[in-house]
Amino acid sequence: MEHTFETNLISCLDMAVQEIQNSEQTQQINLPDSMPDVGTILAAWGQVILRGKEWRGSGISVSGGVMAWVLYAPEDGGQAQSIDVWIPFQMKWELPADIPEGSIRIQCLLRFVDARSISARKILARAGIGVMAMVCTPKTVQYAVPNQPIPGVEMLRSTYPVRLMKEAGEKNFFQDEALSLPESAPLPEKLIYYHLDPVLLDKKVLSDKIVFRGVSHLHALYRSEEGQLHAWNFEASFSQYAPLNGEYGTDAQGDILLSPTSVELELNDEGHFHLKCGIVAQYLITDRQLLELIQDAYSPGRELRIQKEELDLPGILETRQETIYGEQTIAGETDLVVDVCFLPDFPRQIRQEDRVDLEMPGLFQVLYYGEGRGLHSASAHWEGSQSWNADASGELIAVPQSAQSQGIPGSGSILAKTECPISLTTLSGQGIPMVTGVEMGEQIKPDPNRPSLILRRAGSQLLWEIAKETGSTVEAIRTANGLKEEPAAGQMLLIPVP
């Protein structure tokens, strides 16, 4: 007789695509008549802006640009000049055939920005952009459970706590802040460049909404009224919430990626700054679910054939935050470092049996005053590595966050240091075995010479394994020995055999 289990359904999201693309884009800058001829390019900086993302049939596209600033020394030896340019980019990803439309999550990194003079009146700016695209699509998973006990069949029920991706979306918001320097700071005359890093401080899922708060770190380089360059850091706090499609309990969690969609910093005549920026918060809601599955089955008195399948659930095994520390010695004689920034790249992954090695490249950029108070810049590539324990079958998503950097002058060198947070998410890559049905066979004829009670010493086997091997039941062994839990190693067991 065949017994087919009842089919239940789970609705969740699947990470259908998780892929990184790199792009290099250039843009020519023609100097306005009011600016002096180019002598030497001193430095270049940039800010990545995410403008749009779109689902296009068999693929997705992402568009944006880099707000780039170039600092150069004029040919006539005058004061250093800064000019800005917009460098657009667009990237496309092909998707698997017949994939259902879902949500797109994007993380952009500025890998490098540099510039060179083409002529005395033209500059060519170049930017390298790294973009990680994560596509979450709806998925329905089936799992089987018996709707009622089957007489004469022992079943091993196992409970699996799984964390599933349930909902993805985004919230756009804006900040409009007046920012002031402290009285002790030199008064600004002209902005050279600025960079915005929105950082999440806290997040929580409250029933049908996700609430989050954070701070936008603004780094600005300006020239003071005395003609010297100064860097300053500002903070602009934000607190937001986004409504959700479903309602969730206390086990629900939210993961949020923050990306600037616009940044504008103005300097007024009184020396005060005015920040206007747009930010998109791309959220992913996960929730914990307990699944009770039949892992194994047998019959003490009959032949039993079982049907087994693997339950393929796109679950999340682990989410955590780590920090990678890096430092690089850069040649340069100075007692005044003006500006230091570190541009992290997406890390490379090297999988081992029980761990993953992350190799994270990055670029240090340093601006400093050298001998004779002349401006100099230097850059140096850096590569660090760190190992973490990881499930060999899981897929690791590693996303660097904004880094905090500093430069320490030394004897003939500058020590550039950085602290770069990194978000690590491990996706399940292994199915869960489950019994989907059983077929009862012929009655097993009892052995007349077999004793009705077996004495056996417990070892490393579980009660289920002992019962299945001896043709007894877990309940019978527990009753005969007064057990509530698994037996201790070496304990003598009385095993009733029907």
- The pLDDT tens digits of the residues spanning 473-492 come to 999 999 999 999 999 888 99
Task: Name the pTM for this structure.
Answer: 0.90
- The pLDDT tens digits of the residues spanning 168-207 come to 999 999 999 999 999 889 999 999 999 999 999 999 999 9
Burial class (CB in 10 A: 0-12, 13-18, 19+), 48: buried
Token pair of 394, please? 């899981």
Looking at the predicted structure, is the pLDDT value of residue 355 above 90?
no
Looking at the predicted structure, is the pLDDT value of residue 391 above 70?
no
Q: What is the pLDDT of residue 443?
A: 84
Strand stretches in 57-121, DSSP E: 59-74, 81-94, 103-119
- CA of residue 79 relative to chain centroid, distance: 43
Q: What is the pLDDT of residue 455?
A: 86
Q: Percentage of the chain surpassing pLDDT 90?
A: 72
Q: What is the pLDDT of residue 57?
A: 78
Single out the residue of 22, 24, 21 nearest to residue 88, CA to CA: 24
In whole angstroms, give the CA distance from residue 306 to residue 309: 10
Asked if 360 contacts 324 with a C-beta cutoff of 8 angstroms, the reply is yes
- CA of residue 43 relative to chain centroid, distance: 31
**CATH, range 447-498:** 3.10.350
- The pLDDT tens digits of the residues spanning 110-164 come to 999 999 999 999 999 999 999 999 999 999 999 998 888 888 899 999 999 999 9
Domain coordinates in residue numbering, the chain: 316-427, 447-498
